[in-house]
Chain A
């Protein structure tokens, strides 16, 4: 089976919009959230609460769209955990990268993330983000005086989960940004999320299918 390396749209317009608005909102939420927690002296408490609340509500809406999009387009399959190439990628980050080796993973039509990446994103989507929402939404409801039924949970416990999840998100952001520097260049990693195009290994059959049915994906 011969492989073709083709520039192809891997991040659809919605996905890019989602990613960057989510990025901006997460930074906003971390900035304002840390002010509410009391460790960011650059913002007053009242302003921080206002900003945090609005940013959270916008992100909830984006998330609703994103979840719908992931499931209706079948894109959720990119996040399924896989052992294929897992060892190779892990070995690269632990060892090969220091020897100047190339990244062993090549994007394919069905897997645009490397296995470590996919596993991390899955963890973020199924554990960390749900934790932030499952604590954040009750917090918001109690804040707005309509969460009486949640009072038994205790605002302290809700806040504890929320803060712990926020710390996990901070850790993810740090690692995520750092990993952008690990390929050939930083721009090479960021560019696909801006233009949508990246080099993808396609089989002849996939290429033929795309040419026939999805010509818009090709440059």
Chain B
């Protein structure tokens, strides 16, 4: 074979090599969103509309009942034969045998709605906080206390020492027929939603008590923020009976865990807090048989959970000192067909049709259920499903903008909660969050958030009267908070750490989701941490490209010249 033939083959080969080196891949994840559909208007402002109730009943039917392993069959107890006519009567019966339960539960957040942060010293808890969903429970207990583990919390002056008002049933009943209604009268238009409910069979419910199931916890926690999955994004009615790919732990095809399998505890206090989170559990599984009251992944899986007989497994194990388990193992939130809210705009609140409030249900989520994109009492909503979380360094400590926090509204959106953490802090991990954006009222004169009066049968309650000015003035006055008399809208953000809906390992995030140019953690690769594959060093990229292209050009030029002069010589 002639020399030039060989040379040509080699040039071709080199060009292939070059192409290989300089090709770049662009990965972009596109998430399917629901198709637009004809507007669905539903009159009335009931939060429990017909479609919602059908949806919820479908869920409860599919809920699983396991055989109890308890040594006591409560249906056989004389003390629970009744008759009972109210919740407190049942509680009294419970506490007669469980005579320390009351003292224990008195310290529980589900009862106190109160939390003193051990690190920041902030006074937190549902009783005082303002969020960027329905805003404040304080002053609106009549409605909000349906999710208080107690009876008769009608306002902020609740007697937290009266054990008879504890609600044992909300957490322990297993019939699924127990429900609560507002503790005080709301506006007429609102009250209709609680009419026509079947009477509570107190005896049957009292005798059904057992360890809390997902139905007990889910009834409140899956509906935080005023509807299914509205608040958290990783806690929805899907978890009543999730497919394995949505939640490997809670699925019947998976581990069939209840909430308290992980949220373990003693003495009516259990693990798991969003105010002070465990993001760096280095104790892991502990010693054999050692009980650990920690709701961390590591407490079962250890901090080195990946197989150590592969390079990939070893490599993944060294990620755990920087990256939270959730980051890779919960690749998207609001999975399984139930959407979460990502934007709430209070500014559009108060539109009426023929003087009546209404709902516009223009979002159809994955499971086919229609979600309200507008509610007269709340404003406009934007939903998301299969949403990629936001990622940030997090050391577990949350800071809150409370009613007495002054802020500068000109500095952009206000963080309802903010968190600390950094790449240089060995206790921090890269953590996934759901980010919530809201436009809500604030005190324009004092530059603080406001307490609003939402619920009530007076002319100040927002729900029924649709007047922000009156609602804020009443809400602030009721709680003795100074109010300038002037209000306006401010943009707010809140951040919800993502822990639930852990996918099976096949569903974990691919390496290339982060280890790629423009990957999910691109914004964190700011010099404080090095993430291979992101090609952040532009100078190196240019020098490398020039060096390789220059060499190729050099040898190709040299070779071409050789061919040309050889031909010329032959002529």
**Residues of chain A having any CB pair with chain B under 8 Å:** 31, 34, 36-42, 44-46, 49-50, 53-54, 93, 97-100, 142-145, 154-156, 159-160, 163-164, 167-168, 170-171, 174-175, 177-178, 180-182, 184-186
Contact (Cβ within 8 A) A175 B530: no
Report, nearest first, the 6 A-B pairs whose CB atoms are least far apart: A41-B25, A156-B530, A178-B555, A45-B511, A145-B318, A155-B530
Q: How far is the CA of A31 from the CA of B558 in the complex (A)?
A: 26
| A179 nearest CB neighbor, chain B only | B555
Contact (Cβ within 8 A) B530 A159: yes
9 interchain pairs, CB-CB under 8 A? A41-B23, A49-B315, A98-B561, A143-B318, A145-B314, A155-B530, A174-B552, A182-B562, A186-B7
For A170, what are the chain B residues with a Cβ–Cβ distance below 8 Å? 21, 547-548, 551
Contact (Cβ within 8 A) B559 A36: no
Partner of A39, one of B22, B318, B530, B537: B22
For B314, what are the chain A residues with a Cβ–Cβ distance below 8 Å? 143-145
Dominant secondary structure of chain B at its interface with chain A: helix
Contact (Cβ within 8 A) A34 B558: no
A39, A46, A185 pick with most chain B CB within 10 angstroms: A39
Q: How far is the CA of A93 from the CA of B310 in the complex (A)?
A: 48
1/0 contact string of B71-104 vs chain A (CB within 8 Å): 0000000000000000000000000000000000
Closest-CB distance, A124 to chain B (whole angstroms) = 14
Q: How far is the CA of A184 from the CA of B1 in the complex (A)?
A: 12
Closest-CB distance, B322 to chain A (whole angstroms) = 11
For A160, what are the chain B residues with a Cβ–Cβ distance below 8 Å? 537, 540
Partner of A167, one of B23, B532, B547: B547
Contact (Cβ within 8 A) B562 A50: no
1/0 contact string of B530-548 vs chain A (CB within 8 Å): 1011110100100110011
Q: How far is the CA of A41 from the CA of B14 in the complex (A)?
A: 18
Does B163 sit at the interface, judged by CB under 8 A?
Answer: no
For A50, what are the chain B residues with a Cβ–Cβ distance below 8 Å? 310-312
For A144, what are the chain B residues with a Cβ–Cβ distance below 8 Å? 314-315, 318
Partner of A177, one of B14, B540, B565, B566: B14
Contact (Cβ within 8 A) B530 A44: no
For B566, what are the chain A residues with a Cβ–Cβ distance below 8 Å? 100
For A177, what are the chain B residues with a Cβ–Cβ distance below 8 Å? 10, 14
Partner of B3, one of A31, A171, A181: A181
Closest-CB distance, B424 to chain A (whole angstroms) = 11
Q: How far is the CA of A75 from the CA of B3 in the complex (A)?
A: 32
Contact (Cβ within 8 A) A45 B559: no
For B555, what are the chain A residues with a Cβ–Cβ distance below 8 Å? 174-175, 178
Contact (Cβ within 8 A) A156 B565: no
Does B569 sit at the interface, judged by CB under 8 A?
Answer: yes
The answer to whether A45 and B548 touch (CB under 8 A), given A38-B24, A143-B315, A181-B3, is no
Partner of A38, one of B10, B315, B515: B515
Partner of A42, one of B20, B527, B547, B552: B20
Does B317 sit at the interface, judged by CB under 8 A?
Answer: yes
Q: How far is the CA of A163 from the CA of B21 in the complex (A)?
A: 13
1/0 contact string of B303-324 vs chain A (CB within 8 Å): 0000000111011011001000
| A162 nearest CB neighbor, chain B only | B532
| A94 nearest CB neighbor, chain B only | B558
Contact (Cβ within 8 A) A171 B318: no
For B559, what are the chain A residues with a Cβ–Cβ distance below 8 Å? 178, 181
For B52, what are the chain A residues with a Cβ–Cβ distance below 8 Å? none
Q: How far is the CA of A36 from the CA of B562 in the complex (A)?
A: 37
The answer to whether A167 and B543 touch (CB under 8 A), given A34-B20, A45-B511, A181-B559, is yes
Closest-CB distance, A27 to chain B (whole angstroms) = 9
Q: How far is the CA of A159 from the CA of B534 in the complex (A)?
A: 12
Partner of A181, one of B7, B548, B551, B552: B7
Q: How far is the CA of A208 from the CA of B510 in the complex (A)?
A: 65
Q: How far is the CA of A39 from the CA of B510 in the complex (A)?
A: 17
Closest-CB distance, A45 to chain B (whole angstroms) = 4
1/0 contact string of B1-21 vs chain A (CB within 8 Å): 001001100100010010011
Closest-CB distance, A41 to chain B (whole angstroms) = 4
Known: A49-B315, A53-B311. 14 other contacts (CB 8 A): A34-B21, A38-B533, A40-B20, A44-B511, A45-B512, A49-B311, A155-B530, A170-B551, A174-B14, A175-B551, A180-B10, A182-B562, A184-B3, A186-B3
> For window 474-529 of chain B, which residues contact chain A by CB distance below 8 Å?
510-512, 515-517, 527, 529
Contact (Cβ within 8 A) A98 B565: yes
Q: How far is the CA of A53 from the CA of B311 in the complex (A)?
A: 7
For A31, what are the chain B residues with a Cβ–Cβ distance below 8 Å? 20
Closest-CB distance, A157 to chain B (whole angstroms) = 8
Closest-CB distance, B199 to chain A (whole angstroms) = 59
Contact (Cβ within 8 A) B515 A45: yes
For A156, what are the chain B residues with a Cβ–Cβ distance below 8 Å? 527, 530
Q: How far is the CA of A97 from the CA of B510 in the complex (A)?
A: 52
For B569, what are the chain A residues with a Cβ–Cβ distance below 8 Å? 99-100
Contact (Cβ within 8 A) B23 A39: yes
Contact (Cβ within 8 A) B510 A44: yes
Q: How far is the CA of A41 from the CA of B551 in the complex (A)?
A: 23
For B20, what are the chain A residues with a Cβ–Cβ distance below 8 Å? 31, 34, 40, 42
| A97 nearest CB neighbor, chain B only | B562
Q: How far is the CA of A143 from the CA of B318 in the complex (A)?
A: 7
Q: How far is the CA of A142 from the CA of B535 in the complex (A)?
A: 20
Q: How far is the CA of A89 from the CA of B15 in the complex (A)?
A: 27
